[in-house]
Each structure stands twice: as structure tokens, then as C-alpha cells.
Structure 1
Amino acid sequence: MTTDHRSPAPFGRALCAMVTPLTESGALDLDGAQRLAGRLVSAGCDGLVLSGTTGESPTTTDAEKAALVTAVREAVGERATLVAGVGTADTRHTVELALAAEKAGADGLLVVSPYYSRPPQDAVEAHFREVADASGLPLVLYDIPGRTGTRIEPATLVRLADHPRIVAVKDCSYDLLGIQKVLSRTGLAYYAGCDEQVLALYAMGAAGCVSTVANVVPELFRSVLGAFDAGDTGRAALLQRRAVPLIEAMTAAGLPGTVTAKALLGALGLPAGPVRAPLRAADRETTGALLAAYEDLVAGAGQLQV
């Protein structure tokens, strides 16, 4: 089967991979999470991904993950979709987290490929099917082999697309050919998980993006996608290019996006707090460079109508 339409957008187009705010003592900051979520949604995010990579899922507890979903749902109501990160290296544990997220009020589940044990593709497929069978929520499969060590191969995605609750992919594969193969053969909604590829994947038919940079400029990629939809591809490309210095500083300068997003949010006086070990806070020089890149982008935003 070959499809010729844009992917559907079951969770909206412009989503933010939200940080998990912590207090200075390192405890979960639910009040800060609610304030940050409200700001992100008011500024243009259609949805929020909670407890993903940027949300420090490896170092938050099961109870904290569920509490975060509940608190953010209270803050944003039905104004935005909530996708809860529940993927682990253990299928049984992933199912438990999926059921807890469903109970807490999530709209969807972000499920990363099992990491460390590096299962073969038939085991990867079985893992996702078991999680999808266990819950009534739709799944976003998270393909990020650079972190997990295990790719969700295009052929596996094509097979998984026949499951009624497997509806989307968050892509960090850097495999443009593979993405196009899946887009052309399935109805899966693709979300760009790498900010530098948002416009490129959207132009190929993706549904939208899950952005780390959106933590600090939540309106940016909504404007990129909106300009493209309006037929102003030149403006869309200009906005994407204008964001490159900040994207590079936040996601490609040697530190995890969690660290840079929290550093910049903190510098702007917004809820973030520290990161949890083994991550370490950005130093003063790095934070200054992040702030300079942010200010440069914002300074040009009026001309570009971001």
C-alpha cells in the first residue's frame, strides 16, 4: 500500500518535550510543572510529552511520573494533549507504567525501544504489541537508536502499523529514506524528534514535531509549520534557519537537551530547577552562550513574526 496524504496529527502538530521541574533539593516540583505547562500551552504548544528523554525519565520514579501527569492535566485541562513517556528496558515494567499513565489522565503513551539488552526485531515488535494490547491509549513509538542502541527498523514499523493503537512515531533515527518508506506505506503519524529536522520531515508528510527547544520558545515551530501550511515555504525555511544557533546550542553542543533546557529556563526565571545525577548542571559560560543564542533569536522574532 502506498499513501499519498500527510500523516494525521492525533496529538496535535507542535508538541513540547517538557522538562520535569525539580525543587532546589531535587524533589518533584508539581507547582512549577503546572506553571511551565500552562505557559507552553498558552504560547502555542498543542501537546506536551511528559517523562520523555528531556523529562529525565531514567531518574524519576514511577510515582513521580504518574503524579506529573495528574498535575499537568489539572493545569491544562483539555487545552492540550498529554503524551506520557512509559518506555523502559523491561516489557512488564513498561506495561505497569502504561496503565498508571492511563489512570493518571494521559492521552497517549510514548514508548521507546527496549534499551541495553538490544533485542532483535521480532522481540522489539512483540514488546510494542504487548504494551499496545495492555492499555486503551494510543502509542507513539520512539525511535532513537543513538540512545537505546536498538533501531525500530522501517520494516518493523510497517508491520506494527496494523495495530489499532499504534498510531505514531517520534523519530530521532536520522534516516530520511527509512522515514519516507514508512510514510509511503502506512498511516502512522510521524513527529520529528530532532529540532533541526522539523521542517524537512514536515515537508515530507510528517504530522509535526516533539521539540526540546519549545521549552523556551514554544511558539517557534508552531509558526514554522503554520507558514508551511499557508504555502509560505520561504518564510517557513527562514524561521527554521533562524533557530539553528539555538538548536545547536541546546541539542548539539555536547550536553543533553535536559541540561541545556533547564539551564536556559532557569536563566529566564522559569520553572526548571536542577537536573538529577548523573547529569550535571551547565556551567556559567555555557548558560551565558545559551542565553545569548536565545536573545538573538527573540530579537529577530518581531521581524519574522514568530
Structure 2
Amino acid sequence: MTTTAPFGRALCAMITPFSADGALDLDGAQRLADHLVSRGCDGLVLSGTTGESPTTSDAEKAALVEAVREAVGERASIVTGVGTSDTRHTVELALQAEKAGADGVLVVSPYYSRPPQDALEEHFRTVADASGLPVVLYDIPGRTGTRIEPGTMLRLAEHPRIVAVKDCSYDFLGAQKVLARTELAYYAGCDEHNLALYAVGGAGYVSTVANVVPAHLRSVLDAFDSGDTATAARAQQRATPLIESMMAAGLPGTVTAKALLNELGLPAGPVRAPLRPASHETVDGLLAAYEDLTAG
């Protein structure tokens, strides 16, 4: 079982700030990145699901890495999403990420085409062979349509540059099977699993909710590490209403995170179509959950 955390323990799946007209807001990205790192984030995951990667250009993805690296320096790791439905394009983005200064790449299963497991394995190996950056496999079958099966994970773990998994599989048994047999660092990709996966040997989390409560989520891991598991459990439970409001209320986490950040006066801006902003009623509910958590 691994106890290493190659990119840190507390990682935020950072939103991508846009200006009012929908353009990439690099100044806002730098300010938000600094805010998150100063409040306990060990690493930032850019251009993932929460970062609206399907609607940002290759050039915007590179510019985002460069800007955030300038803002945080070596205070935090930077992992950037390079996964697409095209292996060649994914390789190009991995090479671009390496040049831009990323510490690792997040590679999602190719979506829509639903490749079988042998083709999926070859895709990840090809990307891992293409650059010198370590690879985080992103297992989120609810969005891609394709699971990275535990057997495939076990084989991919043999590759020297495939070092971690962002786990959104909702298969806790499968995750534990791979944890027990490999050195892969498992990061919870669903906030309700942050403490549970950590407690069985996970490396930490890649959290959307950390955009708005980075210090609180970090405190869960800190309490567990100090041996105070009861405090860790209470802190995780206290975050549950906000996690539910942001991640399980029918809207993508990008929409809810940006809605809250805008209300809190932090850089966010609009979402890009086809996503639409949260309604006033939804924003009111999010703010209530946020205030209940942070009031104590």
C-alpha cells in the first residue's frame, strides 16, 4: 500500500476564471491560485472537469499553467488536464504542459468513443511515453462512458511515469484492491470520499469544494494525520451539506463553485456555454450551506 503523495495531499480542482465577456482571466487565475495555496492547498489541478477543459483552447490551457506557475512558484504542485477523445491530441497537450511548467498531467479516459480496455491501456501508455511528466489517471466513467477497470489499473501501475489516480469511479472496493497491490497514489475525486479513501491509504483529494473552503477540507486530513480521527470525522461530516449542495444537487460543480466564488468576491466570472449560471434560488441555497459551515 502506498503512503506517498506525489503532488501533495490537499489538491484543489481549480475553476478557470473568465472575464465578464467570457475571455480567459489570467490575472484572476493568479489571484485565486494564490488564495487557495495560502489557505492550505498543496497542489492545484488545472483544466480538469471543474476547470471547463472541454471549452478552453489549447493555447488557453498553456497560458493558464504559465500564469499559475508564476503566481504560486514552488509553493504548490501544478497538475493540468490534457485528456481528450483523441490520443494524438492528448499527446500534443502533454508535451505542451511539460513546456509550460506543469508538474504532472491529468489524463481522462477518452470519452464518447468508449474504447475497450486494451485500447484504453494503450492510450494511457502512449501518453505516458510521450513526455517526462508523471501521469495521473482520471477514472470518471459517469462522464466518459468508460471505466478504467481495476485489472487495467494494475497493469498501468507498472509504467514508471503513471503514478496516481483521481478516483471518481464510485467503486470503493475496486479502489482498495488497486491500493493494496500497487504503489499508485489514489486521490479522492468525489468530496464525500475524501476522508474515507484517505483512511484506507489514499494520498489525499482533488476537490472541487476546495475552491470555496480550502482550509476546512485541509483540516480533515490534518486531524486524521495527528491521530484525532474523531475530529477528522466531525469535520468531514460538517462539510457534507455543502458538498451535497455543490456536487449532488443537479448542477455541475463548475457552476456551483463559480456561483459561490462570485458571491464571495473571488475571481470566477461566468461559465462557458453550454453550461449556464446557477439560478438566484440555487445561489441562496449554496450561500446558506457555506455560511453554516464557516460560521463555526
Q: TM-score, normalised by structure 2?
A: 0.99
Query: C-alpha distance in 2, partners of 1:284/1:15?
Result: 29
* 8 Å CA contact retained: 1:56, 1:258: yes
Distance 2:3 2:109 in 1: 22
**C-alpha contact (below 8 Å) 1:137/1:165 kept by paired residues:** yes
Residue 54 in 1 paired to residue 55 in 2? no
Task: Tell me which residue corresponds to 1:104.
Answer: 100
1:7 offset after TM fit, Å? 3.1
Q: Are 1:274 and 2:259 counterparts?
A: no
Q: Secondary structure at the match of 1:243?
A: helix
Q: Which residue of 2 aligns with 1:173?
A: 169
Give a deviation string over 1:192-245, Cα, whole Å, max 9, x none: 000000000001100000000000011122110111111100000000000011
Q: Which amino acid aligns with 2:208?
A: T
Q: Which amino acid aligns with 2:163?
A: V
For residues 193 and 262 of structure 2, what CA distance do their matches in structure 1 show?
26
Mapped contact 1:116–1:149 kept (Cα < 8 A): yes
Could you list the runs of 4 or more consecutive aligned residues of structure 1 that deviate by over 6 angstroms after TM superposition? Answer: none
CA–CA separation in structure 2 for the residues paired with 1:180 and 1:252: 24
Tell me the equivalent position of 1:156. 152
Asked if the contact 1:43/1:219 (under 8 Å) is kept, the reply is yes
Judge conservation of contact 1:7–1:183 (CA < 8 Å) in 2. no
* Paired residue secondary structure (2:214): coil
Q: Distance in 1 between matches of 2:55 and 2:183?
A: 34
Relative to the length of structure 1, the TM-score reads: 0.96
Paired-residue identity, %: 80
| Backbone CA RMSD of aligned residues | 0.5
Letter in 1 for 2:212: V
Contact (CA 8 Å) 1:227, 1:233: kept in 2 or not?
yes
Maintained 8 Å contact 1:7/1:188? no
Verify: 1:293 aligned to 2:289, yes or no. yes
| Runs of 5+ consecutive residues of structure 2 not aligned to the other structure | none
SS in 1 for 2:22: coil
Unpaired runs of 5+ residues, structure 1, are 301-306
Residue in 2 that maps onto 1:144: 140
1:19-168 alignment, distance < 5 Å: 19-168=15-164
Q: Check if 1:194 corresponds to 2:190.
A: yes
Q: Distance in 1 between matches of 2:86 and 2:16?
A: 23
Cα distance between partner residues in 2 of 1:295 and 1:248:
14
State how far apart, in whole Å, the 2-side matches of 1:218 and 1:227 are: 14
Number of aligned residue pairs = 296
Query: 1:121-151: CA deviations, max 9, x gaps?
Result: 0000000000000000000000000000000
Q: What amino acid sits opposite 2:187 in the alignment?
A: Y
